[in-house]
A and B are shown apart, each in its own frame.
Chain A
Amino acid sequence: MRQVLEGSHAISEAVRLAKVQVVAGYPITPQTHIIEAISQHCADGSLKARFIPVESEHSSMAAVIGAAATGVRTFTATSSHGLALMHEVLHWASAARLPIVMGEVNRALGPGWNIWMDQSDSLAQRDTGWIQLYCEDAQDALDTTLIAFRLAETVNLPAMVVIDAFYVSHTFEPVDVPDQETVDRFLPPLEPRFRIDVDHPQALYPMVGPAFFMEMRRSIQDGMEAAGPAFDAIAGEFESVFGRRHSAVETVGCEDADLVLVTTGSVTSTARLVVAQQREQGKRVGLCKIKQFRPFPAEMIRAVLGSAPRVAVIDRNVSFGSGGIFAREIQGALCPLEQRPAVYSYIAGLGGRDITPETIAEVLRLAEETPAPEAESRWVGLNPDVKP
């Protein structure tokens, strides 16, 4: 049924439909609406889950780790400093092979104190062994959350469903909320591959010495490598049930493009408009949306971008001393190709600064006019009156 939903509530609805059994949560702007709605679902009985209020995000992750180890479906959500506080236990969740799903609302970290959109928080966790899926809008958020449970439970790795602060989390859009029966067909109850069982006592995760540690780590990498094809297969099944197509990488007019713009998250919607306008003006511009950041879909990136002369990447993040993180990953993915496109890296829209159609047009213009990419990422949309 189509409903007008806040982006945050698109995720909470998906959690309800997924029949999650244990939820832990701690409030933080702009995530709070997700966990708030879920606590309401738990209170009114529309979700028969144990809701564990905790005193910090570290504890909420620890709580869902404990719960997941008993073989139940779990969920938590956080943002920004909350995610940073979880960092230590994020490693634990993945190496423990627990299929936890987490809602993550992209927000900057302070100082300067800032509650707005920025990908620094989730991308800082890229090496923790979590699957990361970025969403463009509220419908994408609902669908991706359902897919994330299937995916996490297939490869036994935790998954983060990432939405943009405010642009997605706090805006209302029409969302198709599927009925329970349909969701049940797509997402059956969790059948854990292992679990803590008092009738068969065992200690999970004791010490592992040098003789086995590498193999254990290698198995996480194997899981990540399995997650790519698994996502495609699950997305295919999702499409057959719900009629909506999702892919790790989505393209618009890339086949003949002289210049392909790469985006993630909600800015993709703005970019769709700009790219369509420029196409009408006769410019051969394409758009590539990256949904799946971990595992990084390198093979698909090579297939989609390999033949384009130029690629412009917008990063709402920066790895200080390196540059835009998506751009660097794409450059790495394209490296094995003998003929590879020129990759232009742009930093824009940090800490909630709007990426307007003008900003995107500026990025496209700069990429067209600059004969060869600079070594450093270029910052666009800076206020010329503020001199560092």
Chain B
Amino acid sequence: MIASLRPTLLFPVSRTSTEANRTGSWRFVRPVYRFKTAPCSAACPAGIDIPTVEMLASRGQIHDAWAHICRENPFPAVCGRVCFHPCEDACNRAELDAPIAINALERYIGDAGLAACSPLVSPAAALLQREVAIVGAGPAGLAAGYFLTQLGISAEIFESTEEPGGVLRWGIPSYRLPKAVLAAEIDRIAAAGVKIHCNRPVNPDTLAEMAARYDAVLVGAGLAAPLRLNISGEASIIDGLAFLKQVQAGSAPVASGEVAVIGGGNTAIDVARTLLRQGARPTIVYRRRRQDMPAFGHEIAAAEAEGVRIVELMAPVSAAADGNGVRMTLQPMRAAEVGADGRVRAVPAKQPPQEMRFKAVFSGIGAGVAEPWHRPADEADAIRLSHCAICRGTPTVGYIGDPVTAENSVAHAIGSGKQAAIALHALFTEGPEAVAPAVDRCRVGPGPALSMEIYLNGERSRRNGRVVTFADVNTDYFLRAERCAIPALAPAAAANGFEEAVATLKPRDALAEAARCFNCGICNDCDNCRIFCPEQTILVGEGGRRSVDLDYCKGCGICTVECPRCAMDMEEESA
């Protein structure tokens, strides 16, 4: 009965296609998909394409994420444990809630790659019939070998010790980096075609022999000689680096009681935490303020949590051994003006020197090159790049790793090996003039990090170098979400042994953490552009690649505004 009260409806409907109305002619600006550089990737010394890695991980495509990391870094499981992750300091998400746990995710992805025994895949680069010898199987040498192989250049590494890994093996304690993880990632590099010869020390004579046999030699011998304190009684102080090596080899004497470690860098922290695990009570004695310590902040925090004591503003004056230990004379210091290096200097305070007694004292103040030929001579005619130096001659000798990088870290060493590989490839294929422009071209954003994918003209080479800022992110599309908790042993338990102190994320936590990523500057197929376009002009092509149908796009710009991650720009139409 009520249905009979329904009135007749009259309103216009059109079933004619509007295709004839090419609204694109109204446009004076056009949207363009212009992928940009994420701040994390620009901050990564290894140049990893982090926003893409997290996008793949968030979808559960862990193997793809792993393969994507390996384009730029063959050590995800190692770096996921030991990297100082400057990427996280640069993360835009920090301004919304907390940065993405990029380092923990890299470890999760790296471990998944190890568990799957996935081989490294080399891009089909043309074989160059060139051979390069590398001195030293540390991170720089191994990375150089890997990237040279990727570029079709055969690489052979000569390592002086019994096993490859360099500082990763003998320097970094196993509670931070288990030896099995390191060995597995090195084995994978070897399986990718890098020949690694152990027990093959190189000296200037053998270097000359190599020079005759290879098209180039890369020297990546690291920093193996401890710096000296230059105080009286130095002979009673144990070299921290040598101590770490002995611990790795299982031949170190076990320390106990009150011990001191001189220094404020990562070596001092590693020595102190190792001593703690041996049952000793270590005190770090540092001549500047604690905030001036060059060690990574998270390492200092972990050491303190485990029970390492830090005494700041105390400079060693002399050491004297007696039957029961070492008597240290220490000068109290005070913070002074900022020095030429930009750091706050420490100068002696108006207080008399103090004495402290320890069962043993270790030094961990850093290291220098073991041999002068481990770094390029100052007068050498070299192409000096940000992370390596290439000396032109017969043959070409390049220098990689800690001796030539301004900052010393595993990630920088990997970046160094990559830069040298690109430089040699450019040198071999296009000549010396091409080296600097080639390196320049594959910078990630403002650099200095380099991308192999860019060098090989992959998708990243079409990205804009502009680094996406927080203001560029459309935060309407991101709810606050807590950063994942990184599983770790309780500090007291960790300090009890050499078990790994930090664990790998659980799959669910890893995916949720990866999903927090803004994916700054890249398209993650969220389709906001397509949903919001009033003219339905966003086309989805092969592989999900979006494009704009310019016949109908009126240039309103809604797509660009609604893109959450700054992957689009508006551009004026050229007349």
A residues neighboring B (CB under 8 Å): 95-97, 150, 154-156, 193-194, 201-208, 212, 215-216, 218-219, 222-223, 225-226, 229-230, 233-234, 237
B5/A96 in contact, CB under 8 A: no
> Min CB distance, A159 to chain B, in Å?
14
Cα–Cα distance between A206 and B3 once the two chains are bound (Å): 28
Q: Is B18 an interface residue (CB 8 A)?
A: yes
Contact of A233 among B1, B11, B12 (CB under 8 A): B1
Q: Is B8 an interface residue (CB 8 A)?
A: yes
Cα–Cα distance between A244 and B457 once the two chains are bound (Å): 76
Q: What are the interface flags for B1-33 relative to A under an 8 Å C-beta threshold, 1 for contact and 0 otherwise?
A: 111011111111111101000000000000000
Residue of chain B at shortest CB distance from A224: B7
Give the 9 A-B CB pairs with smallest separation, nearest first: A219-B10, A203-B14, A226-B7, A230-B5, A206-B14, A223-B7, A222-B7, A202-B15, A208-B12
> Min CB distance, B283 to chain A, in Å?
55
Contact of B2 among A154, A212, A215 (CB under 8 A): A154
Contacting residues, chain A, for B13 (C-beta < 8 A): 194, 202-206
A230/B10 in contact, CB under 8 A: no
Contacting residues, chain B, for A96 (C-beta < 8 A): 11
Contacting residues, chain A, for B15 (C-beta < 8 A): 201-203
Residue of chain B at shortest CB distance from A55: B476
Residue of chain A at shortest CB distance from B16: A203
Contacting residues, chain A, for B9 (C-beta < 8 A): 97, 156, 193-194, 219, 223
Contacting residues, chain A, for B2 (C-beta < 8 A): 150, 154, 230, 233-234, 237
Cα–Cα distance between A194 and B6 once the two chains are bound (Å): 13
A216/B7 in contact, CB under 8 A: no
Number of interface residues of B (CB under 8 A): 16
A202/B14 in contact, CB under 8 A: yes
Give 12 new A-B contacts, CB below 8 A, not counting A216-B12, A233-B2.
A96-B11, A155-B5, A155-B6, A155-B7, A194-B13, A202-B15, A204-B12, A206-B12, A216-B11, A219-B7, A219-B8, A233-B5
A215/B1 in contact, CB under 8 A: no
> Min CB distance, B14 to chain A, in Å?
4
Instruction: Kindly name the residue among A201, A202, A203 whose own CB sees the greatest number of chain B CB atoms within 10 A.
Output: A203
Residue of chain A at shortest CB distance from B4: A233
A156/B5 in contact, CB under 8 A: no
Can you report 29 A-B residue pairs in the complex whose CB atoms are below 8 A from each other?
Answer: A95-B11, A97-B9, A97-B11, A154-B2, A154-B5, A154-B6, A155-B6, A155-B7, A156-B7, A156-B9, A194-B13, A202-B13, A202-B15, A203-B13, A203-B14, A204-B11, A204-B12, A205-B12, A207-B12, A212-B12, A215-B10, A218-B10, A219-B7, A219-B10, A223-B7, A225-B7, A226-B5, A226-B6, A229-B5
> Min CB distance, B511 to chain A, in Å?
24
Contacting residues, chain B, for A95 (C-beta < 8 A): 11
How many A-B residue pairs have C-beta atoms within 8 angstroms? Tell me: 66
Residue of chain B at shortest CB distance from A155: B7
> Min CB distance, B389 to chain A, in Å?
57
Given known contacts A226-B5, A233-B1, A237-B2, A216 and B10 CB-to-CB distance under 8 angstroms: yes
> Min CB distance, B475 to chain A, in Å?
14
Residue of chain A at shortest CB distance from B476: A55
Instruction: Kindly name the residue among B7, B14, B15 whose own CB sees the greatest number of chain A CB atoms within 10 A.
Output: B7
Contacting residues, chain A, for B10 (C-beta < 8 A): 215-216, 218-219
Cα–Cα distance between A215 and B16 once the two chains are bound (Å): 22
Interface residues of B in 430-467 (CB under 8 A from A): none
Residue of chain B at shortest CB distance from A220: B10
Residue of chain B at shortest CB distance from A204: B13
Interface residues of B in 481-532 (CB under 8 A from A): none
> Min CB distance, B218 to chain A, in Å?
58
> Min CB distance, B91 to chain A, in Å?
27
Residue of chain B at shortest CB distance from A200: B15
Cα–Cα distance between A154 and B13 once the two chains are bound (Å): 21
Contacting residues, chain B, for A234 (C-beta < 8 A): 2
Cα–Cα distance between A234 and B6 once the two chains are bound (Å): 12
Contacting residues, chain B, for A212 (C-beta < 8 A): 12
Residue of chain B at shortest CB distance from A194: B9
Cα–Cα distance between A233 and B9 once the two chains are bound (Å): 20
A203/B18 in contact, CB under 8 A: yes
Cα–Cα distance between A226 and B8 once the two chains are bound (Å): 10
Cα–Cα distance between A130 and B378 once the two chains are bound (Å): 87
> Min CB distance, A189 to chain B, in Å?
15
> Min CB distance, B561 to chain A, in Å?
13
Contact of B11 among A150, A205, A237 (CB under 8 A): A205
A222/B8 in contact, CB under 8 A: yes
Cα–Cα distance between A207 and B14 once the two chains are bound (Å): 9
Instruction: Kindly name the residue among B3, B5, B13 whose own CB sees the greatest number of chain A CB atoms within 10 A.
Output: B5
> Min CB distance, A37 to chain B, in Å?
22
Contacting residues, chain A, for B1 (C-beta < 8 A): 233
> Min CB distance, B4 to chain A, in Å?
9
> Min CB distance, A120 to chain B, in Å?
30
Contacting residues, chain A, for B12 (C-beta < 8 A): 204-208, 212, 216
Cα–Cα distance between A206 and B15 once the two chains are bound (Å): 10
> Min CB distance, A382 to chain B, in Å?
44
Cα–Cα distance between A230 and B3 once the two chains are bound (Å): 9
> Min CB distance, A317 to chain B, in Å?
29
> Min CB distance, B50 to chain A, in Å?
31
Contacting residues, chain A, for B14 (C-beta < 8 A): 202-203, 206
Contacting residues, chain B, for A201 (C-beta < 8 A): 15
Cα–Cα distance between A154 and B2 once the two chains are bound (Å): 7
Residue of chain A at shortest CB distance from B17: A201
Interface residues of B in 313-366 (CB under 8 A from A): none
Contacting residues, chain B, for A208 (C-beta < 8 A): 12
Cα–Cα distance between A330 and B201 once the two chains are bound (Å): 108
Residue of chain B at shortest CB distance from A156: B9
Contacting residues, chain A, for B18 (C-beta < 8 A): 203
> Min CB distance, A151 to chain B, in Å?
9
Residue of chain B at shortest CB distance from A96: B11
Contacting residues, chain A, for B11 (C-beta < 8 A): 95-97, 204-205, 216, 219
> Min CB distance, A345 to chain B, in Å?
33
Residue of chain A at shortest CB distance from B13: A202
Cα–Cα distance between A201 and B17 once the two chains are bound (Å): 9
Contacting residues, chain B, for A150 (C-beta < 8 A): 2
Cα–Cα distance between A281 and B392 once the two chains are bound (Å): 118
> Min CB distance, A92 to chain B, in Å?
11
Contacting residues, chain B, for A222 (C-beta < 8 A): 7-8
Cα–Cα distance between A194 and B1 once the two chains are bound (Å): 21
Residue of chain B at shortest CB distance from A193: B9
Cα–Cα distance between A218 and B10 once the two chains are bound (Å): 9
Cα–Cα distance between A218 and B11 once the two chains are bound (Å): 11
Cα–Cα distance between A206 and B13 once the two chains are bound (Å): 6
Residue of chain A at shortest CB distance from B3: A154
Cα–Cα distance between A95 and B9 once the two chains are bound (Å): 10
Cα–Cα distance between A107 and B10 once the two chains are bound (Å): 34
Contacting residues, chain A, for B6 (C-beta < 8 A): 154-156, 193, 226
